Amino acid sequence: MVSSYSITLQFLSVFVPSMSNFPIFFSVLLCFSTLVSSQLNELFFPGFKDFSTNITLRQAAIIEKNGILHLTKNSGLTEGQAFYRSPIQFKNSTNQQVFNFSSTFVPGIVSHLPDFGGLAFTISPSIELSGLPSQYLGLLNSTNDGNFRNHLVAVEFDTVQDFEFGDIDGNHVGIDINSLISNKSSTAAYLDNSSTIQNLSLKTGKPILAWIDYDASENLLNVTICPNYPRPRLPLLSYKVNLSPIFHEFMYIGFTAATGRLSSSHYISGWSFKINGEAGAPDLSSLPSIPQKKKKRTGLTIDLRILNYSR
Query: Per-residue pLDDT tens for 40-58?
Result: 789 999 999 999 899 999 9
pLDDT digits (tens, 9 = 90+) for 270-305: 999 999 999 999 999 999 999 976 654 444 444 443
Residue 2 confidence (pLDDT) above 50: no
Burial of 244 (0-12, 13-18, 19+ CB in 10 A): middle
CATH 3.40.50.1370 fits 42-286, yes or no: no
Residues 191 and 197 sit within 8 Å (Cβ to Cβ): yes
* pLDDT-wise least confident of 68-72, 184-188, 246-250, 288-292: 288-292
Average pLDDT over residues 196-223: 96
The predicted pLDDT at position 39 comes to: 57
Beta strands in the chain (DSSP E): 42-45, 55-59, 62-63, 69-70, 79-84, 88-89, 101-110, 117-124, 153-158, 172-177, 184-187, 189-191, 197-199, 209-215, 220-226, 237-240, 250-259, 265-275
* pLDDT-wise least confident of 144-153, 229-238, 245-254, 293-302: 293-302
Residue 30 confidence (pLDDT) above 60: no
Single-letter code of the amino acid located at 44: F
The predicted pLDDT at position 155 comes to: 98
Domain parsing of the chain, residue ranges: 1-39, 42-286
The predicted pLDDT at position 46 comes to: 96
Average pLDDT over residues 116-136: 88
pLDDT digits (tens, 9 = 90+) for 57-105: 999 999 999 999 999 977 677 899 999 999 999 999 999 999 999 999 9
Of the ranges 160-164, 214-218, 229-233, 259-263, the best mean pLDDT one: 214-218
Cα(107)–Cα(94) distance, rounded to whole angstroms? 36
> Half-sphere exposure (CA, 13 Å, Cβ side) for 215?
8
Query: In the predicted model, what is the mean pLDDT of the chain?
Result: 83
The predicted pLDDT at position 17 comes to: 45
Residues 26 and 18 sit within 8 Å (Cβ to Cβ): no
